[in-house]
Amino acid sequence: MEINLISDTITKPTQEMLQYMFNAHVGDDVYRQDPTVIELETRVAEFFGMEAGLFFPSGTMANQTAIKLHTQPGEQLIADKYAHVYNYEGGGVSFNSGVSCCLLDGNRGMITASQVAGAINDPEFYHSPLTSLVCVENTTNKGGGACYELDDLREIKKVCDANNLKFHLDGARIWNALVAKRQNPKDFGAIFDTISVCLSKGLGAPIGSILLGSKADIHRALRIRKILGGGMRQVGYLAAAGLYALANNIERLAEDHRRAKEIAAILSTKPWVSHIEPVETNILIFSLAEGYSDQLLIEKLKQKNILISSMGHNKLRVVTHLDYKEVMHTYVVETLQKF
């Protein structure tokens, strides 16, 4: 039995989800005639209190479309140095939109309103790129699944409004934040111009993200998605997986959070662990003490059929998810206790 804790993207659809997909009513979504896709887009938009949604094959494409919506070539966006849109989207910010990034040194991937205010270029100083967009990530990936407080996001929004900036949320794991912090999704919809939400991580769908925004922005996003090659035909079969996930897999995220915290508690007792990032959701990041090798630990765990990943510099990551069952968790806990 292999236990994969490398990412929450490795989950496979359950038999119930597959049956729901099999029964989906579909049409040609390029012609906007797929009823299941339209239902998913509408339901997610309503969930967050936003006007409209658009289905994407990936979170990267959804984020890149949002950036293209809100910027012009030669401009600049502000984000944390850990931001997914900067680190893990293939340089798409520059390739697709022709914009640069002003990276801030936040706390576990989270930035503050004062940091944003201090990073905005003077719009009259034409030697510097025009600042036009702020992007934040919730939960933060490289920050170890950290969650923003709503009040902190509202303060950033005030800065954006005062300086005519757009505000985008990379909400790849927003579902984890909603459960962990017991937050209202409509509060997020009231803060951001656009939000991307992922269905294929914590919710366990095989593919898909939704970009949310105003009707006008989503109408423009449809053209950008087409240009990026994101137009799909009978994609309702995949959208059905998202509908099933919304109905069945949100509240259970609390189990993933509990298991991640229990693993962290065991690691905190080990002399070969020097630091553990606070665990709020399903991502656990820890560092090894000097003299210990991350690759050696990965190999020793692999011999026990437990897979985790290295983030470099003797830092490792564990991610709990839908396919990580309680029997697996018991085995991992017992194995780590003996290390």
* Residue-number span of the structural domain to which 188 is assigned: 15-248
Burial pattern 53-82, b for ≥16 Cβ within 10 A else e, equals bbbbbbbbbbbbbbbbbbbeeebbbbbbeb
Give the DSSP H/E element, type plus range, for residue 152.
Answer: helix 150-162
- Same domain membership, residue 289 and residue 156: no
- Same domain membership, residue 177 and residue 46: yes
Return the structure tokens found at 55.
């289905």
pTM of the full structure: 0.96
Q: Which long-range contacts (CB under 8 A, 24 or more apart) does 178-182 make?
A: 178/250, 179/250, 179/251, 179/253, 179/254, 179/257, 180/139, 180/147, 180/253, 180/254, 180/257, 180/280, 180/281, 181/147, 181/149, 181/280
- Same domain membership, residue 296 and residue 232: no
- Same domain membership, residue 119 and residue 238: yes
Collapsed DSSP state (helix, strand, coil) of residue 309: strand
- Same domain membership, residue 289 and residue 169: no
Residue reference for tokens 């995949």: 238
- Same domain membership, residue 268 and residue 231: no
Mean of pLDDT values over 310-326: 96
Q: Is the peptide bond before 139 cis (omega within 30 degrees of 0)?
A: yes
- Same domain membership, residue 288 and residue 171: no
- Same domain membership, residue 25 and residue 68: yes
**Mean pLDDT value across the chain:** 97
How do strand 283-288 and strand 273-276 relate by DSSP bridges? antiparallel
- Same domain membership, residue 289 and residue 141: no
- Same domain membership, residue 200 and residue 62: yes
Residue 307's contacts (CB-CB under 8 Å, 6 or more residues apart) are 2, 3, 4, 5, 6, 298, 301
Residue 1 confidence class, pLDDT cut points 50, 70, 90: confident
Interval 289-316: pLDDT, tens: 999 999 999 999 999 999 999 998 899 9
Residue 37 confidence class, pLDDT cut points 50, 70, 90: very high
Judged against a pLDDT cut of 90, whether residue 259 lies above it is answered with yes
Closest CA to 78 of 96, 89, 92, 93: 93
CATH number at 160 reads 3.40.640.10
- Same domain membership, residue 285 and residue 227: no
Interval 190-236: pLDDT, tens: 999 999 999 999 999 999 999 999 999 999 999 999 999 999 999 99
Residue ending a domain, among 248, 278, 310, is 248
- Measured in whole angstroms, the distance separating CA 183 from the mean position of its chain's CA atoms is 16
Sheet holding 100-104, edge to edge: 52-56, 209-213, 194-198, 166-171, 131-137, 76-80, 100-104
Partners of 316 in beta bridges: 286, 310
Judged against a pLDDT cut of 90, whether residue 339 lies above it is answered with no
Give the CA-trace dihedral at 236, 240, 246, 250, to 10 degrees: -120
- Measured in whole angstroms, the distance separating CA 79 from the mean position of its chain's CA atoms is 14
- Cα 146 to Cα 278: distance, rounded to the nearest angstrom: 8
- Cα 333 to Cα 267: distance, rounded to the nearest angstrom: 10
Is 227 exposed, middle or buried, given 0-12, 13-18 or 19+ CB atoms closer than 10 A?
exposed
- Same domain membership, residue 234 and residue 181: yes
